[in-house]
Amino acid sequence: MKIGELAQADISLCRLRVAYILCQSWLADKGDNQSDMQPSWRCVSHQGPHLLPSVVNLIILIAFSGLPRSFAAWQPSGIPAWLRAHAGEGEGQIAQVVLQRARALYLQKVSEGAVKNPCYFAMDATRPGGLGRRFYVICETDRSFRAVPVGHGNGRDLKGIANFANGIQCAKNFSNAMDSKLTTGGAYVTGEEITSFKGYYRNSSGKYVALSRSFVQFDGKGDTANARPRAIGGHPAVLLREVCLRKDPDSPYANHDGYVPSGKLVNYTGGRSNGCTSWSASDAGQIIPIMKDKPTTLYIYPESHDIDAVAQAVKAGWSPSRAGLYWNASCLKEIGSPKFWPKETLEPILIEYKKDHPAPPPRPTPICKGQ
Q: How does 70-91 read in b/e, with b if 16+ C-beta sit within 10 Å?
A: ebeebeeeebeeebeebbebee
Cβ atoms < 10 Å from Cβ of 223? 20
Is it true that the peptide bond before 302 is cis, omega within 30 degrees of 0? Answer: yes
- What pLDDT sits at residue 53? 41
- What pLDDT sits at residue 27? 41
Q: Give the orientation angle of helix 53-63 with respect to helix 304-315, to 10 degrees.
A: 160
Q: Tell me the residue ranges of DSSP E strands in the chain.
A: 119-124, 133-139, 144-149, 157-158, 162-163, 173-175, 186-202, 208-220, 233-236, 238-247, 259-267, 277-279, 297-301, 339-341
Q: What is the mean pLDDT of residues 286-298?
A: 97
CA of residue 75 relative to chain centroid, distance = 25
Which phi and psi (to 5°) does residue 212 adopt?
-115, 120
The pTM (predicted TM-score) of the whole model is 0.82
Lowest model confidence (mean pLDDT) among 5-14, 188-197, 289-298, 314-323 = 5-14
| Maximum Cα–Cα distance across the chain | 85
Q: Give the orientation angle of helix 96-111 with respect to helix 3-29, to 10 degrees.
A: 150
At 77-120, the pLDDT tens digits run 589 999 999 999 999 999 999 999 999 999 999 999 999 999 99
CB 22 within 8 A of CB 316: yes
Rounded CA separation 259/247 (Å): 4
